[in-house]
């Protein structure tokens, strides 16, 4: 390896510094020479000084500090600070759609960016809670396939499934092949959704990405461009409670002061609150009215109620009556 190794010597030095050094763990020239020797590369100090200087010019933040009669070296600034890597680890760990296996693989890769010593701190940050994680790793390939179709401006074909009570996949609509123009991906309520245009129905639809099967690109250009030119994904996600379909309309809610923050978290800071007396405030929001929406309002308890329009209030009364009947309280 001696011949080719010498040509790659600077890269070995870079890898050693990135992996083994940080401010609290500087390395000496002797340690670098020993590492190169373990990899079949002999090196003189002068050539290593040249390599380190070349790596600095390349952009690597190599700090050299004189300790006694020798210099100690370590990587200063990295592409990711340790606090940033901890944030990424926490995000990966808490993401429900990433499987346990893939979670461990991704965290391992993030540890490499921190260096060996800081990686231990990342490991101490990791707490694998007993939470539900996705079982199907095909979602990564689905996401990639959808991004490719969007980039290529083509429609896609796929099948869609639902879970049976036995925990098995069951194709919807007898295995129907859907044709959709994909326009965006949304991360909502811990799930990935495809937002696309159904040309046959003439409407925007959404689909859970982890429930899509056999995604393939067609040679047909996407439809619905005019519908998506002014499309606001954040607004759409706020309206679609749990991404369940429902008729979109403006609903007037009355909430107590302590729930104002909940409203802003859900609908954004642009909504307006009008005092309604006795500590109540009225706010108008655009939502997709569905059972999921009614359930969300009920979960807010005595501090929230629907006050208009009348047919939505009536819909809430019917939902309450249905629940009373279901639980033998009617």
Considering only CA atoms, which of 5, 77, 64, 300 is closest in space to residue 316? Answer: 300
- What is the DSSP secondary structure assignment for residue 25, as one 8-state letter? B
Q: Which residues contact 16 (CB under 8 A, 6 or more apart)?
A: 27, 32, 35, 36
* Residue that has been written with the tokens 């959808």 in this structure: 146
> Cα–Cα distance between 225 and 240 in angstroms, integer?
21
DSSP letters of 225-237?
HHHHTT--HHHHH
> Cα–Cα distance between 251 and 234 in angstroms, integer?
18
Q: Half-sphere exposure of 151 toward its Cβ, with a 13 Å CA cutoff?
A: 6
H helices present in the chain, as ranges: 2-7, 9-20, 29-38, 45-58, 82-94, 100-114, 116-125, 138-152, 225-228, 233-239, 260-267, 291-299, 310-326
> Cα–Cα distance between 248 and 204 in angstroms, integer?
12
Beta-bridge mates of residue 308: 252
Per-residue confidence of the chain (330 residues) as pLDDT tens digits?
A: 455 556 789 999 999 999 999 999 999 999 999 999 999 998 888 999 999 999 999 999 999 999 988 889 999 999 898 889 988 888 887 777 788 788 888 988 998 899 888 887 776 544 444 455 666 677 888 989 999 999 999 999 999 988 775 667 889 999 999 999 999 988 876 778 899 999 999 999 999 898 899 999 999 999 999 988 888 877 777 666 554 567 788 999 999 988 888 888 788 778 888 999 888 999 999 888 988 899 999 999 999 999 999 999 999 999 999 988 888 775
Beta-bridge mates of residue 186: 193
Structure pTM?
Answer: 0.58
* Residue that has been written with the tokens 């808490």 in this structure: 94
The pairing of beta strand 70-75 with beta strand 62-67: antiparallel
């Amino acid at each position: 390896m001696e011949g080719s190794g010498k040509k790659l010597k600077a890269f070995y030095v870079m890898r050693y510094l990135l992996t083994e050094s940080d401010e609290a763990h500087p390395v000496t020239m002797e340690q670098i020479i020993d590492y190169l020797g373990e990899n079949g590369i002999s090196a003189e100090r002068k050539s290593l000084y040249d390599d380190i200087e070349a790596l600095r010019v390349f952009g690597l933040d190599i700090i050299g500090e004189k300790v006694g009669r020798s210099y100690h070296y370590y990587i200063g600034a990295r592409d990711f600070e340790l606090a940033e890597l901890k944030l990424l680890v926490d995000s990966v760990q808490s993401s429900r759609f990433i499987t346990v296996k893939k979670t461990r693989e991704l965290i391992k890769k993030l540890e490499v960016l921190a260096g060996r010593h800081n990686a231990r701190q990342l490991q101490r940050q990791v707490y694998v809670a007993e939470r539900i994680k996705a079982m199907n790793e095909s979602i990564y390939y689905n996401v990639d396939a959808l991004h490719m179709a969007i980039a290529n401006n083509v429609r896609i074909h796929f099948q869609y499934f639902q879970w049976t009570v036995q925990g098995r996949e069951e194709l919807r609509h007898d295995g129907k092949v859907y044709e959709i123009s994909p326009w965006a991906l949304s991360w909502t309520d811990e799930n990935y959704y495809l937002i696309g245009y159904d040309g046959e129905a003439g409407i925007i639809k959404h689909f859970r990405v982890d429930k899509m099967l056999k995604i393939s690109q067609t040679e047909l250009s996407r439809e619905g461009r005019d519908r998506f030119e002014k499309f606001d994904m954040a607004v759409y996600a706020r309206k679609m409670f749990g991404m369940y379909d429902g008729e979109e309309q403006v609903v007037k809610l009355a909430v107590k002061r302590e729930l104002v923050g909940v409203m802003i978290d859900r609908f954004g800071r642009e909504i307006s609150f009008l005092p309604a007396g006795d500590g109540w405030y009225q706010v108008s929001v655009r939502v997709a009215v569905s059972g999921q929406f009614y359930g969300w309002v009920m979960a807010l308890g005595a501090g929230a109620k629907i006050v208009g329009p009348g047919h939505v209030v009536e819909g809430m009364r019917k939902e309450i009556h249905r629940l009373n009947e279901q639980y033998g309280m009617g």
